[in-house]
A = this chain, B = another copy of it.
Amino acid sequence: MPCECCHKEIESKSKSESDEDQLVISGNAEHPANLICELCRNFYENGWVTGTGGGISIRDRERELLYLAPSGVQKERIIPKNIFVMDFKNKAYIRKPENLKPSACTPLFIAAYGIRNAGACIHTHSQSAVLCTLLFDKVFEISSIEQIKAIPKVTEPGNLWYSDKLVIPIIENTEKEEQLESTLREAIEKYPGTTAVLVRRHGIYVWGETVWKAKVYNEAIDYLLELAIKMRQLGIPTVKQLE
């Protein structure tokens, strides 16, 4: 995520509303391009994407399109015209905003779309995520907290139960975000029940069947990461010994 944010680029506007613009300009608040802007503001307010960090993409299953937030821009200031659009089948960009670069997260998002048939992917630099990767070794683990019931089982329908153990794999960070792709793919394969992967000293990737499920999973997991840090600070194990 080298920050090459340049406000002028965000400002750049096509003179006429081209065909490409029609892909992202919509009066419907539920349009992926509008949702990306709205959710980026929400994430910014939560401190998850400050300083151009993080990213999000949404898949339009019907039209077989992928909508992606651009690289290195202030997430809370993204407007629909900044959004990249990709053909889901051949992974070719069919809309590239002038002067903006595609997100380095793209290959990682594509991994989750491909392996897990996800409908949306979120990447944040949440401090709770970063800190948990410093407190846990190979996996983050927590059990017997009600909020766990918001997380899906993935390998079968339905969500985890209260006393189930949530396990999220942690992969090592690399110098460039793209280099994470192979270990991320391995982690997704190795942990068929996970809907997220933590990246050491970096952040978290979360995906879901729909954009709203991805958002809810991300919120619920961040709640659990934050709670786990507080539990550690108070000397309480995050995995409860069942009697």
Chain A: residues with CB nearer than 8 A to chain B?
1-7, 11, 30, 47, 50-53, 74, 125, 127, 130-131, 134-135, 144-147, 149-152, 158-159, 161-163, 173-175, 199, 201-203, 210-213, 215-217, 219-220, 222-223, 226-227, 229-234, 236, 240
Contacts and interface: CB of A to CB of B under 8 A. Distances in A.
Contacts of A127: 223, 226-227, 230
B3 A149 contact: yes
A52 B214 CA distance: 12
26 contacts: A1-B149, A3-B149, A3-B151, A3-B152, A7-B30, A50-B219, A50-B223, A51-B150, A52-B216, A53-B147, A53-B150, A74-B212, A74-B215, A125-B223, A127-B223, A127-B226, A127-B230, A130-B145, A130-B227, A131-B230, A144-B201, A146-B173, A162-B174, A163-B175, A201-B240, A233-B234
Nearest to A8: B210
Contacts of A202: 145-146, 162
Given A51-B150, A173-B146, A236-B134, A5 B162 contact: no
Contacts of A216: 3, 5, 51-52, 74
A30 to B, nearest CB: 7
A103 to B, nearest CB: 13
Contacts of A175: 161-163
Contacts of A6: 210, 212-213
A220 B149 contact: no
Contacts of A144: 173, 201
Nearest to A223: B50
A212 B220 CA distance: 28
B131 A219 contact: no
Given A130-B146, A229-B230, 8 more contacts: A3-B152, A5-B212, A51-B150, A53-B147, A127-B226, A131-B231, A146-B203, A233-B233
A3 B53 contact: no
Contact of A53 (B47, B52, B212, B220): B220
A81 B193 CA distance: 34
Given A51-B147, A145-B130, A223-B50, A159 B3 contact: yes
